[in-house]
Amino acid sequence: MASPPFVDGKVREGIIYRLKKAPESPVKYPYLIVSDNLDAPAADVLMISDICNIYRAKEKLKKKVKKGTGLEVAVAPARKMDAAGVGRWFEGIRELYLFCQSSRCQFILSSGAASMHEMVSGPCLDAVLKNCDIDPQRHWHEMNSWLEAKLSRRVSV
């Protein structure tokens, strides 16, 4: 059996592991395949790293993305932007959300935290969603349903 992608090798209850590729054998932990390569065919989640240039990414996504794929944007890069950059970032989020709705993909907003000091609280994520005219309750409900559906298809032992 493959060992979990965690430093101490222990599976943590309530943790969904983000992997770059699928495990070669069945595992006992929930995981999603995540990629920042928009051409990745087997990814559950595609990271949209340059949300400010969403129009360029959208053209590629229209041709390549499969229904049900998660499209993730992180808050972390916005922390280092100037006011104009933050405005473009919010506009990119709106555009990506609308694209997700029309292409039956799942919009994912994450903190993008690399450490616990970079984590973003739920109310802050809700504020970002509201600022983009996205209903937080509806978003989190859709997100939960998508996540449960994705994880229910995984092979476990």
What's the pLDDT tens digit per position in 83-134? 999 999 999 999 999 999 999 999 999 998 888 888 999 999 999 999 999 9
In a domain, 107, yes or no: yes
CATH number for position 80: 3.20.20.140
Asked, for residue 14, whether it belongs to a domain, the answer is: no
By residue range, what is the domain housing residue 96?
27-152
Read off the amino acid at residue 37.
N
Domain count, the chain: 1
Look at phi and psi of residue 62 and say left if phi exceeds 0, alpha if psi is from -120 to 50, else beta: alpha
Has residue 11 been placed in a domain? no
Length of the chain: 157
Task: Please spell the DSSP secondary structure of 90-147, one letter per residue.
Answer: HHHHHHHHHHHHHHTPEEEEE---SSGGG---HHHHHHHHHHTT--HHHHHHHHHHHH
Would you say residue 9 lies in a domain? no
* pTM given for the model: 0.87
- Examine residue 1 and state whether it is found in any structural domain, yes or no: no
Whether residue 26 is predicted with pLDDT greater than 60 in this model: the reply is yes
pLDDT at 154: 73
pLDDT class of 34 with cuts at 50, 70, 90 = very high
- pLDDT bucket at 38, cuts 50 / 70 / 90: confident
Q: What are the tens digits of pLDDT across the range 40-77?
A: 778 999 999 887 778 888 888 888 889 999 999 999 99
In a domain, 16, yes or no: no
pLDDT band at 1 (very low <50, low <70, confident <90, very high): very low
